[in-house]
Structure 1
Amino acid sequence: MSELFDFGKNILEQQPFSVLLGTELRAFEPGKAELALAVRGELKQQHGFVHGGVVSYLADNALTYAGGSVLGDSVTSEYKINYLRPALGQTLLARATVISAGKKQAVCQCQVVAINDGEERVVAVAQGTITRIG
């Protein structure tokens, strides 16, 4: 494991909401981050899909991880998400990359996929601006 990946895991473990949901850091390197979440009943809405708020959380956090990988300690200053289809599957995976970065902010994009029996389907896309703190 890289030093950056270990740092990222430590940050995730300090986020009580991420711990509550059971979020897992799968990849973290300069300009890229992947976060995964096992789907369970408590994360679904009344139609049996993963709740949009959970999908949005995962995209937001992955965007901030990607931006933070090049900026340092960062927060999301804005983001937009498009839900493409219901999130159905055993696992959600958010893959985020940096599109452009300066000294104080980065613009990042993210795809959230639902994995069902090894097959991936994109369920949402997001784009956001990540801002360095300090």
Structure 2
Amino acid sequence: MEWSEIMLKEQMSFSGNLGMKFNRIEKECVEIELEIKDTHLNYVGIVHGGVLSSLMDQAMGTLVGAIKGRLGVTTHLSVNFLHAAKVGAIKTYAYPVHETYRTMTCRAEIRDSNDELCCVATGTFRLPRE
């Protein structure tokens, strides 16, 4: 499957339902933007942690695909929430940390429209046998 086909499928899946927009997909960094709406908020009026976790997981998974040329699956995701994200645009960035033939570890962060660091994550991805 071609990379463009994969990205089209992503837009038609869970990622697309959240409203993610891919601003940059390169081997050094993936950037995803999300315009926060009321449907992304939890009962106390801040962005739901599941939305933030999903954004970082998606950014890191996309980075794995950009580097390895094939998609992997998340085997570990660790998230630290640092600052509440609210209505407005947020940006997610993913960067490579370590890779082997069958695994890759990445880090991600989300920043709000004031460039405040909202959360960070690390993720490990396993690639299927070729």
Matching residue's letter, 1:10: L
Aligned positions of 1:37-116 closer than 5 A: 37-71=34-68, 72-115=70-113
Q: Report the residue type matching 1:56 in the other structure.
A: S
Q: Determine if contact 1:91/1:114 at 8 Å carries over to the other structure.
A: yes
1:127 to 119, 122, 127: 122
Are the counterparts in 2 of residues 34 and 96 from structure 1 also a CA contact under 8 Å? yes
The answer to whether the aligner puts 1:24 opposite 2:5 as a matched pair is no
Cα distance in 1, alignment partners of residues 122 and 46 from structure 2 = 22
Structure in which a larger fraction of residues adopt strand: 1
Q: Secondary structure at the match of 1:120?
A: coil
Q: CA deviation at 1:46?
A: 1.5
Alignment RMSD, CA only? 1.8
Where structure 1 has 5 or more consecutive residues not aligned to the other structure, the ranges are none
Q: Give the drift of 1:43.
A: 0.7
Q: Which runs of 5+ in 2 are unaligned?
A: none
Alpha-carbon separation, structure 1, partners of 2:51 and 2:100: 29
Match of 1:10 among 8, 11, 24: 8
CA contact (8 A) 2:63 2:95 kept: yes
Offset, 1:122: 0.8
* Residue correspondences, number: 127
Judged with a 3 Å threshold, the aligned counterparts in structure 2 of structure 1 residues 31 and 130 are, in CA distance, closer, same or farther, namely farther
What is the distance in 1 between the residues matched to 2:9 and 2:97? 23
Give how far 1:69 is off.
1.6
Q: State the one-letter code of the partner of 1:25.
A: F
Deviation at 1:7, TM superposition (A): 5.8
- Contact map agreement 2:62 2:71 (CA 8 A) in 1: no
TM-score by length of 1: 0.85
